[in-house]
């Protein structure tokens, strides 16, 4: 028996990077994990990894920028697995550019994927947590939601919005023993940050007191903690996992 045995977790953006690491960590703790993203082949590969390690996982095609996709994926997960006790809203995108020239489509796409998607998916599965009178919603925000970042007005707004969403939902669902928290990663080495230039990466490293980039496992460990009973008295919190880059 491990701490999450009997719990069902849904992780968005589980096909790679931080989401994949979170899914593996939750499965290691005994949770049955629903892996969701757009790329089903990649999800199947993650599910195979979990199964090979003795865990249980199932894959779901989900586009968090589409309300219809969210509704149908949530319905399918609930039909297959019976409940969602732990929701990790991790799927996210960037469309960087200076605000002066930013296209409305690039602003809207980032908000719809990173913020509206998290809201709608939470709305679609929270009643099963209410029924269980136990639940965990964990939203993956970002250090730039706290600090802002030149060239990322859309992304920073979406991530700051997630922090406000987290606090509001924490207040609404606390009476049902559902905690709602956010994790704010700093610079984590994934496909998302691989897009940055070497000069940008070096400049960021200089701002990290722990003098290393973060790993997806650093974030997954915090997700596993917030999902556990040990974190049952923590809600509405934003946990910085950033090597000291920003100390809120
Ligand atoms: P990543 O490697 O680019 O992975 C992003 C994940 O999101 C993929 O699994 C992708 O899967 C999924 N995704 C994107 N759009 C989606 C959509 N419309 N519907 C469903 N899934 C979608 O990024 P990452 O670095 O692991 O980032 C994960 C989260 O951490 C994001 O929210 C990001 O903002 C946040 N974060 C990352 C860092 C960092 O330094 N890496 C720092 C702070 C915060 P598909 O393409 O298969 O759909």
Kindly give the distance from the C-alpha atom of residue 89 to the centroid of ligand 1, in angstroms, as a whole number. Answer: 10
User: Is residue 246 annotated as part of the catalytic site, yes or no?
Assistant: no
Regarding pTM above 0.95, the answer is yes
> Please, what are the averages of pLDDT over each run of 10 residues along the chain (248 residues)?
89 98 98 98 98 98 98 98 98 98 98 99 98 98 98 98 99 98 98 92 96 97 98 98 96
Looking at 155, 213, 233, 246, which residue is catalytic? 155
Give CA–CA dist 203/75, Å, rounded. Answer: 44
Answer whether 51 contacts ligand 1 (Cβ < 6 A).
no
pLDDT at position 234, please? 98
Would you mind telling me the total number of residues written for the chain in this entry? Answer: 248
Three-state DSSP state, 237: coil
Q: What would the two tokens of residue 146 be? A: 């706290």
Answer whether 42 contacts ligand 1 (Cβ < 6 A).
yes
- CB burial of 34-68 (b: ≥16 within 10 Å; e: otherwise) equals bbbbbebebbeebbeebeeeebebbbbebbbbbee
pLDDT at position 1, please? 44
Three-state DSSP state, 13: coil
Domain ranges of the chain: 8-239
Kindly give the distance from the C-alpha atom of residue 61 to the centroid of ligand 1, in angstroms, as a whole number. Answer: 15
Kindly give the distance from the C-alpha atom of residue 175 to the centroid of ligand 1, in angstroms, as a whole number. Answer: 31
pLDDT at position 2, please? 67
Kindly report the backbone phi and psi dihedral angles of residue 109, in degrees, each rounded to the nearest multiple of 5, phi listed first: -60, -45
Name which of 10, 64, 12 is nearest 32 in CA terms: 10
Instruction: Decide the pairing of beta strands 135-140 and 86-89.
Output: parallel
Q: Does the 8-239 domain belong in CATH 3.40.190.10?
A: no
């Amino acid at each position: 028996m491990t701490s999450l045995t009997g719990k069902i977790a849904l992780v968005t953006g589980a096909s790679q990077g931080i989401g994949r690491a979170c899914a593996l960590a939750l499965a290691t703790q005994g949770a049955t994990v629903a892996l969701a993203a757009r790329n089903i082949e990649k999800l199947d590969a993650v599910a195979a990894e979990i199964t090979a390690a003795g865990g249980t996982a199932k894959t779901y095609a989900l586009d968090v920028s589409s309300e219809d996709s969210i509704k149908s994926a949530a319905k399918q997960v609930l039909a297959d697995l019976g409940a969602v006790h732990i929701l990790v809203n991790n799927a996210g995108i960037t469309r960087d550019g200076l605000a002066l020239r930013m296209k409305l489509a690039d602003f809207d796409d980032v908000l719809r994927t990173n913020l509206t998607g998290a809201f709608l998916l939470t709305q679609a599965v929270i009643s099963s947590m209410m029924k269980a009178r136990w639940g965990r919603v964990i939203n993956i925000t970002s250090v730039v939601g706290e600090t802002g970042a030149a060239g990322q007005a859309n992304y920073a707004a979406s991530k700051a919005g997630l922090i406000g969403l987290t606090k509001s939902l924490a207040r609404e669902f606390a009476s049902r023993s559902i905690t709602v928290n956010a994790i704010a990663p700093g610079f984590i080495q994934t496909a998302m940050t691989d897009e940055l230039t070497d000069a940008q990466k070096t400049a960021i490293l200089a701002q990290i007191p722990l003098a290393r980039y973060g790993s997806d496992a650093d974030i997954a460990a915090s997700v596993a903690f917030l999902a556990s009973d040990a974190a049952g008295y923590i809600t509405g919190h934003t946990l910085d996992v950033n090597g000291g880059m920003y100390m809120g």
